[in-house]
Amino acid sequence: MSGLKREVGLFAAICTAVGIVVSSSALVSLGQGFGLGGPVFVVAMVLALLLNLFVAFSFAELTSMMPLAGGLNHYTLPAMGRTMGIFAVLVGYFAVSVLSNAAESSIAGFVIADIFLPGTNFNPTLGAFLLMLILTLINIRGIKSFDISQVIFASIIFQW
């Protein structure tokens, strides 16, 4: 654990948690799920909880066995080699990002166009692209810029 450093402060961690909770689409899915499925939706949620617990326990065990700062590659590399490590990273992160970013960024573009700039001829695709560019630059700059951006975003959320 000598390579790991605690760089996120308490206030930034709280701001991150607030941002995750406020922006979570899980709250919307719960309302829709109970509205459409009724009490049977609880069974689906319990099954999803169990699957997520198994994933969390697996990553907790891997982290305790290999306490390295890194991602899926550090877990896959010792067991299956370099090729499968690269494949795990591509499937685990890249494929998920590619499949979900189109929907999420288009929703962000529509929110920018309809809520923040109503009545203008603002292109939602441009808004989505600008938002993704800003978030990419924040991630490239590192954890300190992430801290600052989360504090700013949480402050904006509390102002609304």
pLDDT tens per residue across span 121-153: 888 888 778 878 888 888 888 888 888 888 887
47/92 same-domain check: no
132/113 same-domain check: yes
12/61 same-domain check: yes
76/55 same-domain check: no
pLDDT tens for 13-52 read 887 777 776 666 656 677 777 888 888 888 988 998 899 8
**Which of the four pLDDT bands, split at 50, 70 and 90, describes residue 102?**
low
94/61 same-domain check: no
Asked if residue 1 belongs to a domain, the reply is no
Q: What is the pTM of this model?
A: 0.47
**Are 4 and 67 a contacting pair, CB within 8 Å?**
yes
Asked if residue 104 belongs to a domain, the reply is yes
Boundary of a domain, candidates 22, 38, 65? 65
Please give the Cα distance from 100 to 98 (Å, whole number). 6
Percent of the chain at pLDDT exceeding 70: 82
Host domain of residue 13: 8-65
- Among 48-52, 60-64, 108-112, 115-119, the minimum mean pLDDT is found in 108-112
Please give the Cα distance from 124 to 81 (Å, whole number). 43
Residue bearing the bigger pLDDT, 104 or 156: 156
One-letter amino acid at 32 equals Q
H helices of the chain, in order, are: 10-23, 26-37, 40-65, 72-80, 82-89, 96-111, 124-141, 143-159
- 101 pLDDT exceeds 70? no
According to the model, what pLDDT value does residue 59 have?
78
Total tally of structural domains belonging to the chain: 2
Asked if residue 94 belongs to a domain, the reply is yes
118/96 same-domain check: yes
